Chain A
Amino acid sequence: MAMQASHDPSAASLRLSLSRRIFAVEGMAILAVFALLIAIFMVTAPQTFLSYRIYMTFLANVPPPMILALGLTFVVVAGEMDLSFPSIVAFSSYVFAILFKNYELTWLAFAAALIVGVILGFVNGLIVTQLGIPSMITTLATLFLYGGLVVIVSNGLTVAVPSVTDTVIHSVFAGRIGVLPVQALWALAVAVALWFILNRHRFGENVLFIGDNARVAHVVGIRVDREKLKIFTLMGLLSAFAGILLTLETTTYFSSQGMGYLLIVVASVFIGGTSIFGGSGTIVGTVVGALIVAIIEAGLVASGVQGFWTRFLIGVVFLVSVTLNMALEDPDRVPLFKKIRMRLRR
């Protein structure tokens, strides 16, 4: 019966449309890729991936880059780019760490660090909207500018704050509920809030519109400059929050903090399926993209891949993940698959 069913064209088309409908749900395709990766690693490294501990390690370390990637998704959806976030992470981390170390401030240090992030993000937005410099160039410049400034202000010193683990703020943002790192819940909360803003709020609607066509958005009455200012300010705020979470987890500020995140955060956004051209983006995709980026190296290492092969295979897995994501959403989005399908039809 099953074989008969498989030859029934109507059943086949029904199955195709069902799978298309499933993968049309936001993030389902990339979630399937993620599940596939986890399944592969469970087979190749069962001792690691069948134990809860490695997932807790991911949940402790992924939130900062994930929150950065969520903020960057908004920026990219609006057709812009922000490369300055590593320096904002460093700046905010420094402000938090030094205020805690010198004055034993916790919540005030937290607020001050967030305010610094907001200001730096706002300045990015001002430069982009008022000087008309493309955001890629603006934020590349401020990556150096803010990064240089924090080294000047901090005199280049590393600030270790081991006693922060005894504070309430550490328990609230980087503590553990049982074995679950609290920062994972904060990252989830940020993701949920941003999903609602992007998909259910006027601001998100405006961001999508601007990314699709800024000129038309302006014509229909959207105050494009004001909305862009908000986007960069939001990115600054989230960068500061990510910096605080990172400092609370590592209990140290150092001047190159955040720099290692630059490429992996950008990769998380695009692996998640957000369009590089703006106008469309997916919060769920970015969340899963950040998880994929985080598990690949650890998974390969646990599977026994060593030396230079690790880096090579990370590249392979990136490419396969992005291709699979597109193919599952719509096979025709991958030109090679489209050609093959058309040839098979002939």
Chain B
Amino acid sequence: MITRRFLLGAACALGMTGMLSGTALAAEPVLTGEGMTIYFQMGGNSGDPTTLARELGAKAAADMLKVKLINQYAGWDQQKMLEQANQALASQPDAIVVMGHSGTDSMKRFLNEAKEAGIVVVTNNTRLPGTDLSYFGLDNYEAGRVLGEKMVAAGLKKGDKAVIYGTFEQTAHADISRGTIEEFDKAGVAYDKLQWSNEAVQDPSLAVPVLAAYLESHPDVKAIAVPGHGGITAILAKVLDAAGKAPGSVITGGYDISPASIDGLKKGYVTVVVDQQPYLQGFMPVVAAVLQKRYGLAGLMLNTGGGVVTKDNVEAIAPLVEEGVR
């Protein structure tokens, strides 16, 4: 297992290699992905708050290493991700970067066929447990746990009531909710679980009346946790406003920063946002795919997140969010 520090060093070194190529200092052979084609599953829709930074990161790495990059977008539909993985396989590229939302069992056939064809497979955002593939993303459970921990630290006490608005199915994504739930359990925080709808996942404004209605009918609720959806995290300020709650009167925590969640943090409506740094989830898999294809270096892993954005550090991060890098 290669450590995070080593990987970041490797990425910097790659950047420097690119900059120094053509000079006497350049080491030979220069790492390049020239002639390589990589299919890359971006997860959501192009440009959405949780996808854009991943796209930009992948593009930056592809430009640097001269890789031909083909992006695939699934609107976070795991069935579509599976179909797209097989479509990519049919094109016989050099490497495929997949998301692990469909689970290891459903990906087994794809993985076997890719192995037989000599195609490098790298995972990003969500792991495929039980495989030794390189992975760049959050430890979902850990991210959910951090979210719960930070919300408790923000003032939730034993016996307080919270609502968790997320997904609780047996999917990799539900690991985030599990982490938050376990942290709430540990702190003695009572909670209701609300399942988000497919429509709200696509158009988060549809979640406003639902959460506002919940808050109205449960005035004793002290916190809202949204483990795993940047768009819904972005409308938390609207929810509190609609329910007549003052900024800071309800502890709110979510996932993935965006211009709207930054605004919510600044105004005090949003308490904490877990930042999974999707730019790295785009950049690193391309680098890893080239390293594996050229030098057989495999099994790389990097937890891209674990950090949180609060009112204390939001000002420093806001300009990078505007650029789409964070």
Q: Cβ of A162: which chain B residues have Cβ within 8 Å of it?
A: 259-260, 263
Any B CB within 8 A of the CB of A129: no
Kindly specify which of B27-35, B138-146, B153-161, B190-198 makes contact with the partner chain.
B190-198
Any A CB within 8 A of the CB of B219: yes
Minimum Cβ distance to chain B for residue A167 (Å):
16
In the complex, the answer to whether B195 meets A302 with C-beta atoms within 8 Å is no
Can you list, as one digit per residue, whether each of B28-60 has a CB less than 8 Å from chain A (1) or not (0)?
000000000000000011111101100100000
In the complex, the answer to whether A298 meets B210 with C-beta atoms within 8 Å is yes
In the complex, the answer to whether B49 meets A158 with C-beta atoms within 8 Å is yes
Q: Is the interface of A mostly helix, strand, loop or mixed?
A: helix
Any B CB within 8 A of the CB of A335: no
Partner of B210, one of A154, A252, A301, A307: A301
In the complex, the answer to whether A258 meets B203 with C-beta atoms within 8 Å is yes
Partner of A260, one of B49, B193, B200, B242: B200
Minimum Cβ distance to chain B for residue A153 (Å):
11
Any A CB within 8 A of the CB of B307: no
Any B CB within 8 A of the CB of A60: yes
Can you list, as one digit per residue, whether each of A51-67 has a CB less than 8 Å from chain B (1) or not (0)?
10110111011000000
Partner of A51, one of B45, B55, B216, B260: B216
Minimum Cβ distance to chain B for residue A278 (Å):
26
Chain A residue with minimal CB distance to B219? A47
Minimum Cβ distance to chain A for residue B241 (Å):
9
In the complex, the answer to whether B52 meets A297 with C-beta atoms within 8 Å is no
Any A CB within 8 A of the CB of B114: no
Kindly specify which of A194-202, A211-219, A243-251 makes contact with the partner chain.
A243-251
Any B CB within 8 A of the CB of A311: yes
Any B CB within 8 A of the CB of A254: yes
Asked whether A48 and B208 contact (CB < 8 A) given A160-B263, A260-B200, the answer is: no
- In the bound assembly, the distance between CA atoms of A160 and B192 in angstroms comes to 32
Any A CB within 8 A of the CB of B324: yes
Minimum Cβ distance to chain A for residue B26 (Å):
33
Q: Cβ of A294: which chain B residues have Cβ within 8 Å of it?
A: 209
Asked whether A155 and B47 contact (CB < 8 A) given A56-B242, A263-B199, A302-B216, the answer is: yes
Any A CB within 8 A of the CB of B243: yes
Asked whether A157 and B52 contact (CB < 8 A) given A264-B199, A306-B193, A310-B195, the answer is: yes
In the complex, the answer to whether B209 meets A58 with C-beta atoms within 8 Å is yes
Minimum Cβ distance to chain B for residue A330 (Å):
32
Q: Cβ of A47: which chain B residues have Cβ within 8 Å of it?
A: 216-217, 219
- In the bound assembly, the distance between CA atoms of A225 and B322 in angstroms comes to 46
Footprint of B on A, CB under 8 Å? 45, 47-48, 51, 53-54, 56-58, 60-61, 151, 154-158, 160, 162, 246, 249-252, 254-261, 263-264, 294-295, 297-299, 301-304, 306-308, 310-311
- Beyond A306-B193, A310-B195, 15 additional contacts (C-beta under 8 Å) are A45-B213, A45-B217, A47-B217, A56-B242, A57-B213, A158-B52, A250-B238, A254-B48, A256-B45, A259-B203, A260-B202, A261-B199, A297-B197, A297-B209, A307-B194
